[in-house]
Structure 1
Amino acid sequence: MSTLDRLTTDLTASMKARDAFRTNTLRQVIGAVRAAEKAGPVAVELDEEQVQGVLASEVKKRRDSAQIYTDAHATERAETETAEADLIETYLPAALDEAQLDAVVADAVAATGATGMKDMGTVMKAATAAASGLGRVDGKALSQRVRQALQAL
């Protein structure tokens, strides 16, 4: 079952259960996927990877909003944004753990023959490609790991 099908099925179940929070969040996410489908000059159905990308983007938006609300001392709104992000994350593949991330970076550095910071772009491209097949990875965390690995050379 595709992610979009799971979202739609779960939306129906949450509506029947009268779970307003879950229903509203799932409607927003499905709406974001549908908007992405219609974003180009011709409406196209997104493949699974593109849907996952939209979901990851929605999680990032909510995490950023939660941080802004926290900084503004609006804790109730921050908690809502965080809860929405947590719900959406359940539809994404598991994130890479620290050890897996380090292994991906080490493999990318070795495969590209990187010798220093000037090779950051090349290593990032290789690491991103390798990590995409293993699970979800935060680009910022990956970038920091690559930077650390290259500085250590």
Structure 2
Amino acid sequence: MSLLETLNTDLKTAMKNRDKATLATVRMLKAAVTNERIKLGHDLSEQDELAVLATELKQRKESLVEFEKADREDLVADLQGEIAIVQHYLPQPLSEAEVQDLVNQVVADTGAQSTKDFGKVMKALMPQVKGRADGSLVNRLVKAALTK
């Protein structure tokens, strides 16, 4: 079942259960996926769907930090609920050790020797971890692997 079909099913369930928070979040996710599909002009691949979900999650996490700084506890609680709903649709995240193993493998496969090869490593690595690992974590681990 595609992500859009899953979102439609969950949308109906949220309507039946009168779950306003889930309903609003699923509607936002569905709109984001639909907008991306329209922008690209074709159905989304699984990678494209994961990229949309990862973007939505990142936006919410950034907003959460800002709301916490502004001491807006009412908005923080709502946003934490949205984050949990978005994470429900994403695959299980990779641990730091799993990401490190992937980094080591890609560095070996690409023959990267120094930080000059950073772009080559990231280009090969990011499709493997998209939506499953934080980009800043991947960035940090690749830099560490290339500066050894």
Settle same-fold status: TM greater than 0.5: yes
Most deviating of 106-115 and 23-32 = 106-115
TM-score for both structures, normalised by structure 1: 0.88
Shift of 1:145: 0.5
Partner of 2:2: 2
The C-alpha deviation readout for 1:128-147, integer Å capped at 9, x for no partner, is 24435xx7222211011001
Q: 2:27 — aligned with what? A: 27
State the match for 1:49 in structure 2.
47
1:124, 1:146 → 2: CA distance?
8
* Structure 1 contact 66–79 (Cα < 8 Å) conserved: no
- TM-score (ref. length: structure 2): 0.91
Q: Which amino acid aligns with 1:147?
A: K
Q: Contact 1:14–1:20 (CA<8 Å) still a contact in 2? A: yes
Contact 1:117 1:147 in 2 (8 A): yes
Q: Partners in 2 of 1:122 and 1:145 — Cα distance?
A: 14
Question: Greater shift after overlay, 29-38 or 59-68?
Answer: 29-38
**Gapped regions of structure 1 (runs ≥ 5):** none
The aligned counterpart of 1:14 is: 14
1:86 corresponds to 2:117: no
The yes-or-no answer on 1:149 pairing with 2:139 is no
Alignment length (residue pairs): 148
Q: CA deviation at 1:125?
A: 1.6
- AA partner of residue 50 (structure 1): D
Matched residue type, 1:108: V
- Residue 70 of structure 1 and its aligned partner are, at CA, apart by 0.8
Aligned-residue CA RMSD in angstroms?
1.6
Identity among equivalent pairs (%): 35
SS at match of 2:89: coil
Q: Which amino acid aligns with 1:145?
A: L
The change in CA–CA distance for 1:146 and 1:64 in structure 2 (over 3 A counts) is same
Q: 1:45 to 1:130 in 2, by over 3 A?
A: closer
Residues 31-40 or 84-93, more deviating: 31-40
Moved more, 109-118 or 83-92: 109-118
Residue 15 (structure 1) shift = 0.5
Q: Per-residue deviation at 1:48?
A: 2.6
